[in-house]
């Protein structure tokens, strides 16, 4: 498989997140990128500066990245807009809320010369952004407990 150039680390950092759609077998998968660390050039535990995750909360089938707001991040975590569970941006783990004890599904990417490449053998890049909402993700039914 040939690595596919997705975007730049700078674009992900400036926007806070970046999304694309890929094919896995017969199914389309939504994927989003988030910065793993705050400072350019830094790494955490040998990881690269950008990580990629399947765009679904592990507790309930909700998008973590939404076209109108991107991925909500706070303190190095990606926050589920429905229940407030926070997933570590670098390792995908969650230790609070409804999704505690679970981990986001990782997608393999690599960074070379400031560019982010899809390197996951199970996924084929389709297009930037996400498909239109098909009605299965109505958004948060309650977010009164969340503050962003």
Tell me the domains of the chain and their CATH numbers: 4-128 (2.102.10.10)
Mark the ranges of the chain whose per-residue pLDDT is less than 50: 39-40, 43-47, 140-148
Q: Do residues 50 and 31 lie in contact, with contact meaning Cβ atoms separated by under 8 Å?
A: no
Q: Do residues 57 and 82 lie in contact, with contact meaning Cβ atoms separated by under 8 Å?
A: yes
Length of the chain, please?
A: 148
CA of 27: how far to CAs of 7, 11, 21, 86, 104, in Å? 23, 27, 10, 27, 18
Q: For residue 14, what are the contacts with CB-CB under 8 A and spacing of at least 6?
A: none
Task: Write down the pTM of the prediction.
Answer: 0.84
Residue 120 is predicted with a pLDDT of 97
Residue 138 is predicted with a pLDDT of 52
Residue 2 is predicted with a pLDDT of 77
Q: Do residues 82 and 72 lie in contact, with contact meaning Cβ atoms separated by under 8 Å?
A: no
CA of 101: how far to CAs of 12, 13, 29, 93, in Å? 27, 27, 23, 7
Residue 66 is predicted with a pLDDT of 94
Residue 36: phi and psi, rounded to 5, are: -90, -25
Residue 50 is predicted with a pLDDT of 96
Residue 55 is predicted with a pLDDT of 98
Residue 2 tokens, joined: 């040939």
Q: For residue 92, what are the contacts with CB-CB under 8 A and spacing of at least 6?
A: 51, 53, 103, 104, 105, 106
């Amino acid at each position: 498989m040939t690595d596919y150039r997705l975007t730049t680390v700078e674009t992900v950092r400036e926007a806070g997140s970046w999304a694309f759609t890929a094919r896995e077998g017969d199914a389309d998968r939504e994927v989003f990128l988030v910065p793993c660390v705050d400072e350019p050039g830094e790494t955490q535990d040998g990881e690269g500066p950008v990580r990629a995750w399947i765009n679904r909360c592990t507790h309930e089938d909700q998008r973590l990245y939404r076209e109108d707001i991107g991925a909500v991040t706070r303190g190095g975590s990606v926050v589920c807009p429905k229940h407030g569970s926070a997933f570590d941006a670098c390792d995908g783990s969650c230790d609070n809320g409804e999704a505690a004890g679970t981990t986001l599904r990782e997608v393999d990417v690599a960074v070379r010369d400031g560019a982010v490449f899809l390197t996951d053998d199970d996924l084929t890049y389709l297009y930037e952004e996400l498909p239109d909402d098909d009605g299965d993700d109505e958004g948060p039914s309650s977010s009164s407990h969340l503050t962003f």
